[in-house]
Amino acid sequence: MEDGVTPLRENCEGRIALTADHGNAIGEWGYYGHPLGCPVSAVREVPWKTIEGQDRGKLQPETKSAVESANVEKQLSALGYK
């Protein structure tokens, strides 16, 4: 089973930043979720890790033009432009 990071590490060249917005409190100091003003570090701190990648060419992504694969007229209409 792959961890989700391995494909990045093996198909991107150079430094890769791994991050997330924040975590959730799970009962620390009586806090749950991510309430405003919560002093729990898991909620307040942004996780950040860097790893080095080396493109080994193990993954060849499918390439499609975004315009070709989308119904542009339908999307513009849904957004109120047509």
pLDDT digits 0-9 by tens, 41-64: 888 888 889 999 999 988 887 776
Instruction: State residue 1's pLDDT score.
Output: 39
> In the chain, what are the domain boundaries?
1-59
User: What is the full DSSP assignment across 11-78?
Assistant: H--EEEEEE-S---EESGGG-EE--TT---HHHHSPPEEEEEE------------HHHHS-HHHHHHH
Which of the residues in the chain have pLDDT under 50?
A: 1
